[in-house]
Amino acid sequence: MLDEAVKLEELVKKHTDWFRDSLPMIASENLLSPAAMKYLVSDLHNRYAEGLPGKRYYQGNIYVDEIERITTELAKKLFNVPYADVRPISGTNANQAVIFSLLKPGDVMTGPPLQGGAHISSAKFGAVGMRGVNKIEYPFDVDEMNLDVDLTAKLIKIVKPKVALFGRSVFLFPAPIKELRDALDEVGAKVWYDGAHVLGLIAGGQFQDPLHEGADVMTGSTHKTLPGPQRGIILGNPKGDEEQREKLWKKIQRGVFPGVISNHHLHHMAALAISLAEHIEFGRQYAEQIVKNAQTLAEELHSLGFKVLGEKNGFTKSHTVLVDVVAQGGGRKVAEDLEKANIICNYNLLPYDDPKKPRNPSGIRLGVQELTRLGMKEGEMKHVAELIKKVAMDGKIDEAREEVKEMKREFNRVRYCYQEDEAYRFLSSL
């Protein structure tokens, strides 16, 4: 067993060193601040809580109750909403809770198609399908890189969904909730927004504000553009009178517990509290720079000859850039070559790809939120685009990898958070 322990330590060190010398551009990842990270190794890690503050099924939660109340109030303040549940332990877990609370087997739900950026939890082979829900997909407009508003409105009126889902895991532009509000109200659909990828942009005032545009509930991950611990959250601003609002929210809370979780990982909840507080203070500045960086990267890639999607509307208004790399060998080949050069992204389905062949799609997905968190700005994004070209078009993988290492040496501290000066030392000690 000693040999395995030594090997494990070596593997963790190799992974940490690799990412230290890399450009992480997975759109669903980010860096936790040193102030938040210290709670992950506190005694909270060892403890258990079920239920809500003051209504636990375990003793020993005197202080946990206060931590949860603080975390909940910070979430409500950051998003300016009356309801928040901070217990989900991932974005998909939050989605499961909403599915359990709002949908029954046989119910109709509308949502974006998988090749149009939908998350797998809303797919027929994911949590929605496993619940027995009949999901009907919205028509997608490739030129707009968004839903076809007119056809979607007609679809909603015809199928009359119980729940209408918006939000995607490839999220370039805001969902047309306001434009579809009349159709949604006409059929009485509950509106659910999956904001996992853009949660930090929403909180920073740089994307749409779905809970004030007509969504009843928003789920999300807390470790993407909102740079907190790997965790989930549910936020609510239901329509209706006070009694209707409370009734819906209690359903959602029961969907969380006992629906899909027992204990809710208390150490991560404490880290989330710090991350929410940091985003209240630094979030607008951080979100603004994320969007600037994504747009600069997209424009530079386009100028270098890449087929960047979303050109009609300025390529992107989020943290994500989507590139068709068929001309460079396809999404899988390009993503694997970039990985060899220490540029970490993922291959991704594009709207015109066959959703039954996800392992060899046309595109790659690039996220700039982590590079932004390390202090990179527009100038660095132009350099990143040139490095991607050097790999995908010129085939100079080894040369690009050395340039990546050199570039990354200048960006080794977490920004837009408390205790910035301690960040690199803290991360290096892991």
- Average pLDDT for residues 158-187, to the nearest whole number? 95
Say yes or no: 376 and 247 in one domain.
no
- CA-wise closest residue to 393 among 305, 321, 316: 305
Q: Same domain, yes or no, for 233 and 316?
A: no
Q: Which residues of 355-387 are buried (b: 16+ CB within 10 A; e: fewer)?
A: beebeebbbbbbbbbbbbbbbbeeebbbbbbeb
Percent of the chain exceeding pLDDT 70 equals 97
Do 150 and 188 have their domain in common?
yes
**Of residues 430 and 155, more confidently modeled:** 155
pLDDT tens digits, one per residue of 205-261? 999 999 999 999 999 999 999 999 999 999 999 999 999 999 999 999 999 999 999
151 & 268 share domain? yes
Q: Note whether residue 62 is domain-resident.
A: yes
Q: Give burial (CB, 10 Å; 0-12/13-18/19+) of 183.
A: middle
Name the average pLDDT for the chain: 94
Round to whole Å and give the CA distance between 40 and 76.
Answer: 23
Assign residue 403 the CATH number of its domain: 3.90.1150.10
- Asked if residue 220 and residue 78 are part of one domain, the reply reads yes
Tokens for 210, please give them: 């779905």
For residue 157, the model assigns a pLDDT of: 98
> Would 140 be classed as within a structural domain?
yes
Q: Pick the range with the lowest mean pLDDT from 107-121, 138-152, 336-350, 389-403.
A: 107-121
Considering the domain architecture, whether residues 59 and 105 belong to the same structural domain is answered as yes
> Which of 219, 247, 275 represents a domain boundary (last residue)?
275
Among residues 275, 297, 332, the one where a domain terminates is 275
Is residue 25, in this structure, part of any structural domain at all? no
Last residue within a domain, chosen from 275, 296, 321: 275
pLDDT classification of 430: cutoffs 50, 70, 90: very low
- Whether residue 234 is found in the same domain as residue 301: no
Question: Is there a domain that residue 310 lies in?
Answer: yes
> CA 412, 31, 43 angle in degrees (round to 5)?
115
Asked whether residue 398 falls in the same domain as residue 375, the answer is yes
Q: Is the domain of 228 the same as that of 314?
A: no
In a domain, 167, yes or no: yes
Q: Is 94 part of a structural domain of the chain?
A: yes
How many Cβ atoms sit within 10 Å of the Cβ of residue 33?
27
CATH number at 160 reads 3.40.640.10
**Within this chain, do residues 258 and 354 fall inside the same structural domain, yes or no?**
no
**Are residues 180 and 308 part of one domain?**
no
Nearest to 189 by CA among 218, 215, 154: 215
What does the alpha-carbon distance between residue 235 and residue 220 come to, in Å, rounded to a whole number? 8
Q: Please indicate, yes or no, if residue 24 is contained in any of the structural domains.
A: no
Give the model's pLDDT for residue 424.
44
- Specify if 145 maps to a domain: yes
Give the model's pLDDT for residue 419.
66
Domain count, the chain: 2
Domain containing residue 375:
283-428
Q: What percent of the chain has pLDDT over 90?
A: 88
Note the pLDDT tens digit of each residue in 62-76. 999 999 999 999 999
In this prediction the pTM is 0.95
With tokens 């799609």, the residue in question is 361
Measured from the Cβ of residue 41, the count of other Cβ atoms closer than 10 Å reads 10
Residue 428 has pLDDT above 50, yes or no: no
Do 267 and 304 fall into the same domain?
A: no
